[in-house]
Amino acid sequence: MTAPNPNDLLDVDPLMMDVLLDHYKHPHNFGALPGADIVHAEGNPSCGDQMEIALKTKDGTIEDIRFQGKGCIISQAAASILTDMMKGERLDRVRELTKDDMLENIGIPIGPMRLKCALLALKVLKAGVYGQAEWPGEEDD
């Protein structure tokens, strides 16, 4: 009746799982960012997990970016990957980043039940940088 549930950690390639676990246990860019000029936190309504992202910008460029908060392997890996991606980028790129960009960079299939986990970091970033209210991909829902 519906497409099978693709959201299945155990179908993940063991190598991919190792990558994710590594992000989970040793997340990049994790912690507080003293002197940040943008700090924003939001929760994932489907689990209650909270994530904060902080940025230090200069002349429209992201000089430094960090995140903190508790969460699942998917949200932590996503935040770790996203902050890596954005460091040194121009602030404008935050607007351009789409749901699909984020999912591609996580590199495992994400089903609807974990979608918010995968997108939480991007949501917090977009909300912090330019106040986007909707979840990425739900702008025209």
Partner 1 sequence: MSESLLRTVPAEGFDVARVRMDFPILQRRIHDHPLVYLDNAATTQRPLQMVEAMNRYYLEYNANIHRAIHTLGYESTVAYEEAHKKVARFINARSWREILFVRNATEALNLVAMTWGKANLRAGDEVVVSLMEHHSNIVPWQMLRDSLGIILKFIPVTSDGVLDLEAADRLITPKTKLVGLVHASNVLGAINPVSEIRDLARRAGALFVLDGAQSVPHMAVDVQALDCDFFAASGHKMLGPTGIGFLYGKKSLLQTMPPFLTGGDMIATVSQEASTWNELPWKFEAGTSAVAEGIGLGAAVDYLTTLGMDNIYQYEKELGDYALQRLRNVSGLKLYGHERGESLAVFSFNLEGIHPHDGANALDRFGIAVRSGHHCAQPLMNRLGMDNTLRASFYLYNTKAEVDLLVDALGEIKKLFRA
Q: Does 125 bind ligand FES (CB under 6 A)?
A: no
Nearer to partner 1, 36 or 115 (CB): 115
Nearer to ligand FES, 86 or 117 (CB): 117
Q: How far apart are CA 28 and CA 30, in angstroms?
A: 5
Select the residue interacting with partner 1 from 38, 51, 54, 74 (CB under 8 A).
Answer: 74
Select the residue interacting with partner 1 from 17, 41, 85, 91 (CB under 8 A).
Answer: 17
Q: How far apart are CA 130 and CA 125, in angstroms?
A: 8
Burial class (CB in 10 A: 0-12, 13-18, 19+), 41: middle
Q: Does 75 bind ligand FES (CB under 6 A)?
A: yes
In angstroms, the Cα distances linking 109 to 54, 112, 130 are 28, 10, 28
The binding site for ligand FES (CB under 6 A) comprises: 44, 47, 49, 71-72, 74-75, 117, 120
